[in-house]
Chains A and B, each alone.
Chain A
Amino acid sequence: MARTFTEGSKAVAETVKLCRPNVIAAYPITPQTHISEELAQMVANGELKAEYVTVESEFAAASVVLGASATGARTYTATSSQGLLLMTEVLFNISGMRLPVVMTCANRAISAPINIWNDQQDSISVRDAGWVQLYAEDIQEASDLHLQAFRIAEHPEVLLPVMVCMDGFILTHAYEPVYLIEQKEADAFLPPYQPQYYLTPKNPITFGAMMGPESYMEARCQLDRALCGSARTVEEVAKEFKKRFGRFQGTLVDTYCIEGAEIVLVAMGSVISTIKEAIDLLRKEGVKVGLLKVRCFRPFPREAINKALVGVKEVLVMDRAFSPGSGGVLATEIRAALQDVKKAPEVKGHIAGLGGREISVETIINIVKDRKSVGREDRFVDLKEALLS
C-alpha cells in the first residue's frame, strides 16, 4: 500500500477508480469539480475503463446513473449543494428502485445567499431520500469510505444507494498524507457487482412501476427496513476493512476520550479532528469532556448513540446545517434517540460553521465553557451581532 501526499479530491478519484465503476456521470460544481475532472481524465487516458457520460445538468447525471445502475452496471456520481438539490427527484427514485449507486457529496452551503463554501445543508436536506449517508472526518476516511460504500450498497440485503459526504474545500481541496490501496487489494475487497434484477432485453422487467394504495405502503416499509438493516452491513464492512487494511475510523459511530466523560460533544464530518484537538486541551485543564462522532447519519444509529452516551451528564451537539423554524437536525435526532434512555443527559444544540464560517479550536472550547448559557433553543455559534441589527 503506497503512501503519498495528495489532494482530497484526487485521493477520492483514485479510490473510485479502484472500484472499477462501469458508468460515471457527473456535472461539475464547486467544490466537487476536481473529483469529476480527475475521473474524466482517467477515462480519457485509458487508465479507467468506464463510460464517462458528460451531461447537461445534475438532474441528467443522476438520471444517467439511475438508468445505468438498473442495467446492472456499477455506477458513480458526485455533486455539491445546488447540484444535489437539482438531483433530488431522482435521488428518491434511485433508492425506491433499490439501485446501489454511490455518490460523493462535497458538502457545500445552499443558496440564497449564494455561497460556495462548506456546510452540510445539502446532504442534510436530502436525508429523507432513502440513501445511506456516511460522513468523513479526514481525507483518508473519505477515500476509504468509497471502497466501503460500494460493498455496502451492493450487499444483497441492502441494495441501496450510498452517499459519501466530505466537507467541501476543508477535505476536497486540502492536501494530506494518504495511504492509497493497490488495485489487487481493492479487487479482493470489492468483487464485481452481481445484480439480482436488471434491465435486459432477454428478460424484460420494469423498475419503478406504479403501485397503488394496495401495495405502495409496503414498498416504502421495505425501503425503511432495508435502510435500517443496512446498519449491520455498515458495521461489518468497516470491521472487514480494518482487518484487511489496518485502518479503522469507527463503524456507525466512533468515540474519543469518552471514558468517564461528563460532557460529550457530538458532531459529523471534518470538524471531528478539530474537536479532538480541543478535547486534549480541555482535558489538560481537568474538564471531563469526550467526543461522539456520528459516522453514519442514515440509517440513524440510535442504539449506538444511546449506548455511547450512558452515564453522560451533558451532551453538546454541533450541527453544520439546520432546519429553519426548528433547529439543528443532528441535535433534534439525538434528543429523540435519548427518549429511550433513563436519566437521559441534557442536550444542547449548537449550529456552527455555516457557509464556510470557521470553526476554530477556540470555538469548540467556548462551546464547552459557555454551555450553561444555552437554553432549550439551539444556539447559532459565533454570530456577528452587528450584522443582525
Chain B
Amino acid sequence: MIEIRIHGRGGQGIVTSGELIGFAAFSDGKYAQAYPSFGSERMGSPVTTYVRIDDRPIRTRTLIYNPDFIIIQDSTLLATEPVLDGLKPKGLVLVNTKKSADALGLDLNSRVLTIPATELAMEALGRPIVNTTILGAFAAASGAISLEGIRSALEHRFTKELAEKNLKAATKGYNFVKEKKQ
C-alpha cells in the first residue's frame, strides 16, 4: 500500500487534490481512498488530506502517520507545522517552491524534490491554483498514478474547458519533473 499525505492551506484545493489522486489511481485500475482532515478550517489555515493506493481493497480508516510521499503545496508550512513527521526513510517530499531542494536545507533521509508550481500554474491557468500542476509532478516523481489517470480524474471532476486547462497544468508539472530527472 502507498500512503500519501498532502499539506496546504485552506483555499488551495487540498481536498480536491486528494480526490483527484484517488480518482486517478482508481481509473488506473487500483483501489484508493482519500480522506480530508476537516476541522474549523478557513481560508489560509493549514489543511491536510490523506490518500491511500493499493492493489487490494483498503480497510484501514485512520490518519496517515508514516507516509511514503508527502506533498507540500505551500512551503511556508515547513517553518510552522510538523509536515515532515513520520515520513518513511526512503520516502519522497515534493515541495512547491522556486528554491532548490538543497536550498531548503531539510535534514531528511529521503528524496526531496522541488517544483515552482505557482509559476507553472500561472502559465497554464493564469491563476495561482497549484494543485493540478503538483499532481502532474507527483505522477512523474512517484509513478504511483499515471498522467492518463489524471486526465480521467480531471474530466470526471471538471467541465471540459476547465479539465483541459488543468490537464495542461498537470502536464507542465509532469514534464518539469521528467526533465529534471535527466
Contacts and interface: CB of A to CB of B under 8 A. Distances in A.
Interface string A142-174: 000000000000000000000000000110011
A270 B22 CA distance: 19
Q: How large is the interface on A (under 10, 10 to 19, 20 to 34, 35 or more residues)?
A: 20 to 34
A174 B59 contact: no
Given A31-B38, A175-B19, A175-B22, A5 B32 contact: yes
Interface string A173-213: 11111000000000000000000000000000000000000
A84 to B, nearest CB: 19
Contacts of A174: 33-35, 61
Interface string B4-24: 000000000000001100110
B60 A277 contact: yes
B63 interface: yes
Contacts of B38: 31, 116, 169, 173
Nearest to B25: A5
Contact of A175 (B27, B32, B61): B32
Interface string B32-44: 1111101110000
B182 interface: no
A71 interface: no
Contacts of A54: none
Q: Is the interface of B mostly helix, strand, loop or mixed?
A: mixed
A117 B33 CA distance: 19
B62 interface: yes
A177 B60 contact: no
A170 B60 CA distance: 11
Contact of B61 (A4, A5, A170, A177): A170
Contacts of B58: 176
Nearest to B34: A175
B31 A177 contact: yes
A358 interface: yes
Contacts, number: 57
Contacts of A177: 26, 31-32
A173 B36 contact: yes
Contacts of A23: none
B128 to A, nearest CB: 25
A209 B23 CA distance: 53
A275 to B, nearest CB: 9
Contact of A273 (B18, B34, B39, B59): B59
B18 A175 contact: yes
Contact of B60 (A7, A117, A173, A273): A273
Interface residues of B, number: 22
Given A5-B23, A7-B19, A175 B62 contact: no
A276 B36 contact: no
Interface string A1-44: 00011010000000000000000000000010000000000000
A5 B35 contact: no
Nearest to B33: A176
Q: Which of B32, B59, B60 has the most CB of A within 10 A?
A: B59
A359 B36 contact: no
A46 to B, nearest CB: 19
Interface in B125-169: none
B59 A175 contact: no
B32 A270 contact: no
Interface string A267-293: 000110110110000000000000000
A360 interface: yes
A271 B61 contact: yes
A274 B60 contact: yes
Nearest to B59: A273
Contacts of B59: 273-274, 276-277
Nearest to A356: B39
A31 to B, nearest CB: 7
Given A31-B38, A174-B35, A175-B34, A5 B63 contact: no
A285 B120 CA distance: 50
Interface in A350-364: 358-361
A191 B27 CA distance: 34
Nearest to B62: A360
A275 B127 CA distance: 44
Nearest to A172: B38
The CB with the most chain A CB atoms within 10 A, among B19, B27, B35, B61, is that of B61
Interface in A331-389: 358-361
Q: Which of B19, B33, B40 has the most CB of A within 10 A?
A: B33
A47 to B, nearest CB: 17
Contacts of B40: 116
Contacts of A360: 62-63, 65
A128 to B, nearest CB: 29
B60 A5 contact: no
11 contacts: A5-B22, A5-B26, A31-B38, A116-B38, A117-B39, A173-B38, A174-B33, A174-B61, A274-B62, A358-B63, A359-B62
Given A273-B59, A274-B59, 8 more contacts: A5-B23, A7-B19, A116-B39, A117-B39, A173-B36, A177-B31, A270-B61, A360-B63
Instruction: Enumerate the 9 nearest inter-chain pairs by beta-carbon distance, A residue then B residue, closest first.
Output: A5-B26, A273-B59, A175-B34, A174-B35, A5-B23, A360-B62, A175-B22, A277-B60, A277-B59
